[in-house]
Structure 1
Amino acid sequence: MTDSKQIVRNLQLAPATLQSRAVTCIWEKPQAKANLAGYHVYCNDEFVALRKPAQTHLTLTELTPDTFYRIRVVTLDAQKQAVGESEITFTTLTAASLLDVTAAPYFADATGKTSSTTRLQQAIFDCPKGGTVLIPSGAKILSGALQLKSNITFQVDGLLQGSSQPKDYVYTTVTAKNYAGQVNEEGLILNRYEGWELYCYRSLLNSGYLEATNRQKITCENVRICGTGTIRGGGDALGKAMRQDFSDIEKYPQYVSDGRPGRRVRGRLLNFIQTKNIHLTGVHLENPPGWTVHFIYCDTVTTHGVAIRSRGVDNGDGWDPDSSRNCLIFDTTFDTGDDCIAIKSGKNPEGNRINLPTENVRIFDLAMLGGHGMAIGSEESGGVRNVILQDCRVENTLFGLELKAHPDRGGFIENVHVLDCQLDRFMAHSVEYNSDGAAAPTLPYFKNLTLTDCTLTGAGQVVELAGFLDPQTKKSTLTAVRLTNVTLTNPTETTSIYLTACENVQLHHVRFATGQPVPLRQSSTAQAIVVE
């Protein structure tokens, strides 16, 4: 009889990935994972793939449109014997039309010597429901900002090169009529940056718009960006040019960030606002003018098979869900100029008032190989909850996994669970930067944080838990933290665990790889239980 603990859990189609010729399946490891060797995957009883224990996903391609399929995932034990299986069925979508932007009637310049913004935008407008706008392999297309619409695929098999001129990222009287959102007299769009809603330059690819009277309204849906090619922005040169145009601090105080004028006016590489069912897969994303991929007030995001590069870009975050829900990312690599992943939900006092958390974020089987690492906060005034990080590598980064808030923020970070990961460091603490804005009436809180079966590779304060003390009750707002089976691999003289202003902290089998205990630096305001 099959042991239910050996069957993979929650086998499903990754949200927003079902297409006419492709789909991505995801699952969770079986409960009994200690002797897991991997998985055999079958499609209509034909063997299609062997997956490693951490590879709890598979993309199936070259499927037939409008066809029924059955997928089985079989669990293999240490002897590579089948010990359990789970299955799922689905029917592919009906095939739809494809519009090659280099062919008639669009004739986009495939050499990239002249701008093809208008031609690409017309192809997007013309694309029928379910259709695909294609930049073919070998083509280099130069473009300014493009506005995507619902129910289309934007496929880049060649190179989409973003213009280096700020003027190509504003709305004009000609193009503004095709945009339902708010546009100011300078042609900037209502957006959100570093926690505040304000007018910004457009991004290279844009989806949806911000409806300030109803931020939970869906303004665009069913958008897929895919391909084997590259989407490359104008980079730091474009970002600096955008900043320069709004560098007058007295005239544009809202765009000052960390003392740098104009920093918040920049567009991103990809920007999704109030959009539902987003599928981002396959492409290389590089050289943004600021952040790379930004989701604002979105619902249901699946990102996988993507490489994100933003080294040399000021504030060049990789993947930022912001007051968004049901976000999924896996099988992706990062090498960024700032946070690889940054989960946000607004800044006080606006973030407290809007009060839309980022929630239900699942991150697995990916690598963050540079930059600052992964952050939750510091803009978390609307709250962040239900984040799972599993089978990830966060290495050669400045901070590893960092949960951060400023005392004035308010908001919360809760239910963050990290499993089977390799991290440089793990921190939940206060930061002093990016602290402008009126103070919230309450302190931020961190609650229910776990690290299980993880390896920490850094030196110094590899674990830092430093919360906030309520001035009235003298109690900490950093509570319920549990580290279980955590191994530290770098036993230098400075490697330690630092605890202050935190309560109900449990350290179960947290040791160096040599088996020696880790030095614990604990203040009088920390309450910790250590189990060897």
Structure 2
Amino acid sequence: MLDACVRDDTLTVYWDKPATATAGQRYDVMLNDTAVATVDRTRCRIDGLAAGRDYRVTVSMVDDGGHDDGVNGESAVGDAADDDAVMIGSRVFHTAERKRMIDVTAEPYQAIGDGTTLNTAAIQRALDDCGPHDAVLIPAGTFLTGALRMHSDSELVVSSGAALQGTADPHDYLPMLPSRFEGTELDCYSSLINIGHLDHTAGPNCRNVTIRGGGTIASGGRALAEAVIERERGRVEAELAATGQSLDDYEKPETIPGRVRPRLINMSNASHVEIADVTLKDGASWNVHMIYSDHIVTHGCTFESHDVWNGDGWDPDSSEDCVIFDCDFDTGDDIIAIKSGKNPEGNVINRPTRRVRIFDCRATRGGHGLAIGSEMSGGVEDVRIWDCDLSGLWYGVEVKTTPKRGGWVRGLHVRDTVMRHVIIRAVPYNDDGVAAGVPPVLEDFRFERVQLLGGVPADADEGAPREAIYIQGLPEPAPPIRGVAFHDVALGVATGVGDAEPGAYDIVANRCEGLEIRDVRCG
């Protein structure tokens, strides 16, 4: 993979970390045969370009002997690349033409950014008017709004100092739309920003959408979530009573009425969507959710939802070729949760999530885990994670399933990452529904040059695993977890930093075949 997010004057180039790359590996980046930067991350932003021009970008892996660090891991270099460079890739990118900005405060829209005026109609009109050569501009101010919809070949720019602020009133997120939550299709409240229309039998119906700008996109958070749950509670109680059930039969009384809560940004059957350089916060449930979608790129964003139940950050769901990098997380649940449907529906729809790339992300302040599952009935494969600091998460990287799920998770590779734990297990919740015909298969997991801190943060749930490595396969007749490798692993904190937390040096593995652990250091 060598790709770029393109503006009229900027290229943000990114690439896969090569199998032979070392920790702290440096890369030379050339533009039209001129070296422009040396970076120690698998990304590079190139500014000052001309609009509507072709530029060839070449990236090489190099043992540079120790260039001085520059801003954001970049340093200027001379006019020639290192003679020892090993080319990763070379590709021509075409910068965009400059777009006409549609200011939502101008005529005929006249949105008002005072934090109290409801601007849904004005902003939606601007989005409807946005053509392929336009971009809708949210200038400085707080613009209160309900649900909005974006179409193909459109762009939304939330500028620095601007906030697109969703209300806490469920009526502002109507009508309800076909969606998917926790692996099951159902009608949900419209998200704050909606892209595409759900259809598990079809491909993309909305393409080439960009959301960017340096500002904030926020929804009603906990207040909106609680209002939706209260509004839905009576309906759900009546439906459950008709089948001899009650809300008490589930994990929480809020579980079933809470499944229809809106996301912050929802993409259904979308293709080639970029979300860049914005703060995404306080969705009433998950913040960014992509369903049956492909080529979704998110970078330079901050996710904040610490006080929101189910406040996941970024969730690819039966989607392919999803990339996230250079993002910060402080969430009320998993920072990332990779999904593909829940039994039995997810087994029947059978749309896997494939080719997910997560790199240069940070979760040092809060969040549960970087998770795969537990809704993985359609299968998850080829997930690669590198150069991340996940030290603030309760669970670290976690693969989770349930006995009923079916499906598979395979091909998870994690490198050069700090976290508390690696956990592979079945979880005791969200296990309703008819069981799949076969048990889930978990195989081919590789962890290389990782630091596992063990223990749990002070705000973690009681009973959260404390072991650095915790692997618990399902009982027979389910197959054991197969092909798990740990190479070059540091357990606990670095020498001289302080005492290791409880569980920092503990490894638990049950119902696991082909487990390989080598080159382990303690402290």
Partner of 1:497: 507
Partner of 1:519: none
Match of 2:432 among 422, 430, 436: 436
> Contact 1:287/1:309 (CA < 8 Å) preserved in 2?
yes
Residues of 2 paired with 1:226 and 1:255: CA distance?
A: 43
Residues of 2 paired with 1:252 and 1:199: CA distance?
A: 15
State TM-score, norm by structure 1: 0.85
| 2:407 corresponds to 1:397 | no
Q: Cα distance, 1:290 vs. partner?
A: 1.0
Q: Cα distance, 1:166 vs. partner?
A: 0.6
Q: Cα distance, 1:73 vs. partner?
A: 3.5
Residues of 2 paired with 1:506 and 1:288: CA distance?
A: 40
Residues 255 and 386 from structure 1, CA distance in 2 versus in 1: closer, same or farther, beyond 3 angstroms? farther
Residues of 1 paired with 2:194 and 2:22: CA distance?
A: 44
Residues of 2 paired with 1:470 and 1:502: CA distance?
A: 12
Name the SS for the 2:118 alignment partner. coil
Unaligned segments of structure 1, at least 5 residues:
1-9, 172-187, 514-532
Q: Cα distance, 1:47 vs. partner?
A: 5.2
> Contact 2:385/2:415 (CA < 8 Å) preserved in 1?
yes
Name the SS for the 2:356 alignment partner. strand
Partner of 1:258: 251
1:78-89 mapped onto 2 (5 Å cutoff): 79-80=65-66, 82=82, 83-84=84-85, 86=87, 87-89=90-92
| 2:469 corresponds to 1:463 | yes
Residues of 2 paired with 1:46 and 1:484: CA distance?
A: 38
Residues 250 and 191 from structure 1, CA distance in 2 versus in 1: closer, same or farther, beyond 3 angstroms? same
Match of 1:282 among 272, 277, 293: 277
CA RMSD of aligned residues (A): 2.1
Percent identity between the two aligned chains: 38
Partner of 1:143: 145
Letter in 1 for 2:391: E
Residues of 2 paired with 1:434 and 1:36: CA distance?
A: 40
Name the SS for the 1:105 alignment partner. coil
Partner of 2:39: 51
Partner of 2:77: none
Name the SS for the 2:122 alignment partner. helix
Partner of 2:174: 170
Residues of 2 paired with 1:45 and 1:139: CA distance?
A: 43
Letter in 1 for 2:53: T
Segment drifting more, 394-403 vs 57-66: 57-66
Segment drifting more, 121-130 vs 57-66: 57-66
Q: Cα distance, 1:296 vs. partner?
A: 0.7
Partner of 1:67: 53
Partner of 1:510: 520
Letter in 2 for 1:259: K
> Contact 1:200/1:266 (CA < 8 Å) preserved in 2?
yes
Q: How many residues align?
A: 477
Residues of 1 paired with 2:473 and 2:428: CA distance?
A: 13
Match of 2:349 among 347, 351, 354: 354
> Contact 1:266/1:290 (CA < 8 Å) preserved in 2?
yes
State TM-score, norm by structure 2: 0.87
How far does the alpha carbon of each residue in 1:418-468 deviate from its partner, in whole angstroms, 9 at most, with x for none?
A: 111111100111111011111111111101011111111113321011112
Partner of 2:117: 114
Residues of 2 paired with 1:222 and 1:468: CA distance?
A: 42
Match of 2:213 among 224, 227, 235: 227
How far does the alpha carbon of each residue in 1:372-420 deviate from its partner, in whole angstroms, 9 at most, with x for none?
A: 0211000111111100011111112211111000001111110100111
Residues 130 and 258 from structure 1, CA distance in 2 versus in 1: closer, same or farther, beyond 3 angstroms? farther
| 2:484 corresponds to 1:484 | no
1:201-350 mapped onto 2 (5 Å cutoff): 201-211=189-199, 214=201, 216-248=202-234, 249-253=236-240, 258-261=251-254, 262-350=257-345
> Contact 2:21/2:61 (CA < 8 Å) preserved in 1?
no
Letter in 1 for 2:181: Y
Partner of 1:104: 107
> Contact 2:303/2:331 (CA < 8 Å) preserved in 1?
yes
Letter in 1 for 2:172: D
> Contact 1:405/1:429 (CA < 8 Å) preserved in 2?
yes
Partner of 1:124: 127
Partner of 2:177: 189
Residues 197 and 31 from structure 1, CA distance in 2 versus in 1: closer, same or farther, beyond 3 angstroms? closer
Q: Cα distance, 1:503 vs. partner?
A: 0.9
Letter in 1 for 2:506: S
Name the SS for the 1:240 alignment partner. helix
Unaligned segments of structure 2, at least 5 residues:
68-81, 456-465, 494-499
Residues of 2 paired with 1:488 and 1:94: CA distance?
A: 51
1:1-80 mapped onto 2 (5 Å cutoff): 10=1, 12-14=2-4, 17-30=5-18, 32-34=20-22, 38-44=26-32, 48-52=36-40, 55-77=41-63, 79-80=65-66
> Contact 1:36/1:76 (CA < 8 Å) preserved in 2?
no
| 2:405 corresponds to 1:409 | yes
Q: Cα distance, 1:78 vs. partner?
A: 5.0
